[in-house]
Structure 1
Amino acid sequence: MVLRRHIIYFGARSALLLVLGLCTFFSFGQQPSSDLPANVLQGAKTDTMDAYYLIDKVFIVGNKKTKEHIIRRELKIHDGMWLFKPEIDELLEKEREKVVNTRLFIEVDINYLELGGNKIDVIVRVLERWYLFPIPLLELADRNFTEWWTNQNRDLSRLEYGIRLTQYNFRGRNETVNLLAQFGFTKKLALGYRIPYINRNQKLGLRFLFSYATNKNTNYRTESHRLQFADSEETILETFRSNVVLTFRPNFYSRHAFGMQYDQSSVNDTIQELNPNYFLDTDKKQQYLSIYYQFTADKRDFVAYPLDGSLFQASIDQKGLGIFDDVAITTLYASYGKFWDLGKNYYAGNGIRGMASFPSRQPYNLYQGLGYNQDFIRGYEIYVIEGPQYVLNNNSIKKLVFSTETDLRNLNISRKFGKIPLSIYLTAFFDQSYVANYPNYNLNTRFSDTYLFGYGLGVDIVSFYDLVMRFEYSFNKANESGLRFNISAAF
């Protein structure tokens, strides 16, 4: 046991060094060049100088609640900066996208005003969103809509209801406070708080989370890649979680997160009898500390539904630090998505993700694989394909076929809800994957240890406040097909 644990920790340490090396390359290999063009610094001729604008002032307009420094943190442009005239429109569009991706505003426009003598003022106009959402909660307990509709036979008892109070842009500093009181299938109380910046240069931030949940119905096993559930009149699963995350944002596009988390779970005799390996070794209680690191390099044009740009993520997670003997699992994860604007309203996207966890023998409640955490192969939404290692490739091509914006401001509606954009895309997709099975996991072999693919056609609907709906008709390797509905972009 001691030797195994040392091997796990040595592997985690080596993997961490590799991940940190890659992330340092992505993070610090993109430093901006000098604001002043080299030929200006060297005393260029007047006709060369005429190819540049000098920013006199950058004005922020429309931010009634948001602190100005929160917006300026997203901007590369600043007072006294030289801009190459032929590239100014492209640069200002990139600046606009960065402000849009804060998700603080429903409208962002960046324009410039010529003052003469090569000087300009830049005006950043924003229209703030509605930030306080006391929303009645009504959602499904299942992994996705198709799981509920097909595998759970549209069982209304699996609904979760309650109230979620979310205060975005708390104190005007892009902080977020979340309060959740949830009932129904899962009873849950949760408090979350996100502070994007805690230091003067706005690079360090903090996140906190506390949650407590109980269930009278939970999945205890997977058979033929479908979750099996147990019901009880009393609580059969109880969970508590708390974590703290330190974030570091060295530049506009890169983020590092260092987290520590405590998890405690317990089950009653029913779950332990149905699956003695739920927590491994017939245990009815599990607790562990974990530490993790995640790096993100995000250059997407629109986070909720990207059409151009790229996203790279890599993480390492160590569950079990030797304080408790319940868990000792190391997980490596990496993903890369690339998106292209092909012109004439055509777009393409390609994403690849991979996960590897060690050792292979793990408690059932911590099993990983496709079907969890937004890693899906389209055409297999009703299944979970579990395994300690997998690779997934998603491919899409789409065409914008309809786009409009409805103006409701003449109906005396708040400007925050006065314009409703609507875009519709026709999509074609092809996904492929491979999942290595857990050892001796004979209940689930149909889609494990074999090449998988899925394909189909769909319609994506994108509207305001980051609303994305996908209607897709898909086929899989087993010649199964069906209409699927999802909320959020595919990858």
Structure 2
Amino acid sequence: MACLGIVTGTCSFAQLHMDDHPSTSTTDNTVLYSTEGVKTESDTNRLFVIHDINISGNEKTKPAIILRELPFQLNEAYPLGTIVEKFRKARRQLMNTGLFRNVVVSLKSFDDHDVYINVEVEEKWYVWPMAFFKPVDKNFGEWWKEKDRSMNRINYGLRLSHNNITGRNDKLRLSVMNGYTRQVSIQYYGLWLDDALKWSTSAGVSYGQNREVNYMTLRNKQVPVKGEGNFLRSYVGGFFQLNYR
């Protein structure tokens, strides 16, 4: 539903709700503007100034992360029709961050040429642990048939993901693996470097040990060198990225 009830004469409250299906808000007075194209008795090109933006529902997410997704700012002036379109765009961009289950952008009230906007968000659950258990062979069929389902050729472990670790839409990934291969890794995405939230960095580091190393391919199969029960190779890896939006 999308409706904007703005009436002529004296009025103390007006509200715009952004959902998927437009509808008309009616009162006992004459409707000045509606998203369904109701004919108006006043000039809808009249400019309204954004006087205040109120954000609610963000228990974890920082207000700056929400504000950066809005296609309007304080003290900007637009006709009502443009405000309606920008509310739709604001909701779409906030949903695209992956941080929220739902977003409602509404025109809370107005005073003469000043409008007061409310942005209400419903946050997702951000912490996700996941256990894993998988063979080290090329595919499950090879492990099942050719390796006799050997439990010695299994990797198992735990991954932990936090998709909003500091409330700035930054992500932390932790992984611990044991079994045929040992590995510990940590990755962090989205460390903001400037107040405008344009530049960010991502980085990660890992340490692991392998019991075998593939050194050639014979009849479309990899031939490994094995460590006779011990770890044959240790390695350290990492990455660093600089991102601009």
Task: Output the TM-score relative to the length of structure 2.
Answer: 0.65
Structure 1's unaligned 5+ residue stretches are 1-45, 250-491
Aligned to 1:113: 108
Partner Cα separation in structure 2 for residue 220 and residue 119 of structure 1:
71
Aligned to 1:432: none
Aligned to 1:148: 139
**RMSD of aligned alpha carbons:** 3.2
Change (3 A) 1:218 1:101: farther
Query: Match of 1:80, SS?
Result: coil
Aligned to 1:305: none
Partner Cα separation in structure 2 for residue 177 and residue 84 of structure 1:
42
- Pick from 231, 237, 240: which aligns with 1:241? 237
Partner Cα separation in structure 1 for residue 142 and residue 101 of structure 2:
38
Change (3 A) 1:84 1:228: farther
Aligned to 1:61: 56
Letter in 2 for 1:178: R
Letter in 2 for 1:70: I
Structure 2's unaligned 5+ residue stretches are 1-41
Q: How does 1:400-479 map to 2 (within 5 A)?
A: none
Letter in 1 for 2:163: Y
Aligned to 2:178: 183
Partner Cα separation in structure 1 for residue 158 and residue 101 of structure 2:
24
Change (3 A) 1:83 1:186: farther
1:211 shift after superposition? 0.4
Change (3 A) 1:151 1:111: farther
Q: How does 1:33-432 map to 2 (within 5 A)?
A: 47=43, 49-50=45-46, 52-115=47-110, 117=112, 119-133=114-128, 135-140=129-134, 148-153=139-144, 155=149, 157=151, 159-217=154-212, 219-221=214-216, 228=222, 230=224, 232=226, 233-249=229-245
Partner Cα separation in structure 1 for residue 158 and residue 180 of structure 2:
14
Conserved 8 A contact 1:137-1:160:
no
1:215 shift after superposition? 2.1
Letter in 2 for 1:168: N
Partner Cα separation in structure 1 for residue 221 and residue 93 of structure 2:
40
1:202 shift after superposition? 2.0
Aligned to 1:354: none
Query: Match of 1:71, SS?
Result: helix
Change (3 A) 1:185 1:72: farther
Change (3 A) 1:142 1:99: farther
**1:76-96 alpha-carbon deviations (Å, 9 max, x no partner):** 222222334445444323222
Relative contact order higher in (CA < 8 Å, ≥ 6 apart): 2
Partner Cα separation in structure 1 for residue 120 and residue 203 of structure 2:
32
Partner Cα separation in structure 1 for residue 142 and residue 79 of structure 2:
58
1:223 shift after superposition? 6.4
Change (3 A) 1:239 1:69: same
1:137 shift after superposition? 2.2
Task: Output the TM-score relative to the length of structure 1.
Answer: 0.35
**1:2-30 alpha-carbon deviations (Å, 9 max, x no partner):** xxxxxxxxxxxxxxxxxxxxxxxxxxxxx
Change (3 A) 1:162 1:83: same
Change (3 A) 1:86 1:48: closer
Q: How many residues align?
A: 198
What is the aligned-residue identity percentage? 26
**Higher Rg:** 2
**1:288-337 alpha-carbon deviations (Å, 9 max, x no partner):** xxxxxxxxxxxxxxxxxxxxxxxxxxxxxxxxxxxxxxxxxxxxxxxxxx
Deviates more, 1:57-66 or 1:235-244: 235-244
1:248 shift after superposition? 2.1
Change (3 A) 1:217 1:111: farther
Give every structure 1 segment of 4 or more consecutive aligned residues whose post-TM-superposition deviation is greater than 6 Å: none
Aligned to 1:348: none
